[in-house]
C-alpha cells in the first residue's frame, strides 16, 4: 500500500537554528516526491519536488531535500529557520500520470525567538 509517514507531529525550533523534517514513504512504483507548506487558512504551496537525477534538490525559501532510496526517505532541511517559516509541512508522493498524491499527516513547525 502506498503511504507517507511524517513521524514528527510538531517540532519547535529557535529562530536561526537548523531544521530537518522527516518523511518516509512506501510506494510500489517509481516515486515522485514533494514537499508542500501550508500557512493557517491557506492552500498548499509547493516547496520542492524530486522526480529523478540529483538526489539533493533545492527549493524555494532556502529549503532543500535529499532523496535516499535505500532509506525510503525524503527529508526536508533548512540551515537557518526564520520566524516566517512557522507553518504546516506536508510530504507527498505520487507517480507519473493522473495518480493522486498521497500525503503524510503533516508536521507543524513552530519557531521561537
Partner 1 sequence: GAVVSQHPSRVICKSGTSVKIECRSLDFQATTMFWYRQFPKQSLMLMATSNEGSKATYEQGVEKDKFLINHASLTLSTLTVTSAHPEDSSFYICSARDPGQGGETQYFGPGTRLLVL
d(CA 91, CA 25): 9
The DSSP bridge pattern shows strands 73-78 and 10-14 to be unpaired
Helix (H, G, I), strand (E, B) or coil at 42: coil
Considering only residues 11 through 50, tell me which ones interact with partner 1, judged by CB under 8 A: 32, 34, 36, 41-46, 49
**Residue selected from 5, 8, 13, 103 as contacting partner 1 according to rule CB under 8 A:** 103
d(CA 46, CA 37): 7
Smallest separation, CB 18 to partner 1 (Å): 25
Residue partners of 42: CB distance under 8 A and separation at least 6: none
Q: Output 41 or 113, the one with its CB closest to partner 1.
A: 41
Is 59 near partner 1 (CB under 8 A)? no
* Residue 59, all three cell numbers: 527549493
Q: Output 19 or 44, the one with its CB closest to partner 1.
A: 44
Which residues contribute to the site for partner 1 (CB under 8 A)? 32, 34, 36, 41-46, 49, 51, 90, 94-98, 100-101, 103-106, 108
Amino acid at each position: 500500500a502506498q503511504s507517507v509517514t511524517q513521524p514528527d507531529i510538531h517540532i519547535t525550533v529557535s529562530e536561526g537554528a537548523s531544521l530537518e523534517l522527516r518523511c518516509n514513504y512506501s510506494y510500489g512504483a517509481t516515486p515522485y516526491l514533494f514537499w508542500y507548506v501550508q500557512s493557517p487558512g491557506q492552500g498548499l504551496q509547493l516547496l520542492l519536488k524530486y522526480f529523478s537525477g540529483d538526489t539533493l534538490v533545492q527549493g524555494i525559501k532556502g529549503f532543500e531535500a535529499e532523496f535516499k532510496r535505500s532509506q525510503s526517505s525524503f527529508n526536508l532541511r533548512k540551515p537557518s529557520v526564520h520566524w516566517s517559516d512557522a507553518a504546516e509541512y506536508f510530504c507527498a508522493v505520487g507517480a507519473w500520470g493522473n495518480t493522486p498524491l498521497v500525503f503524510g499527516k503533516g508536521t507543524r513547525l513552530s519557531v521561537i525567538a
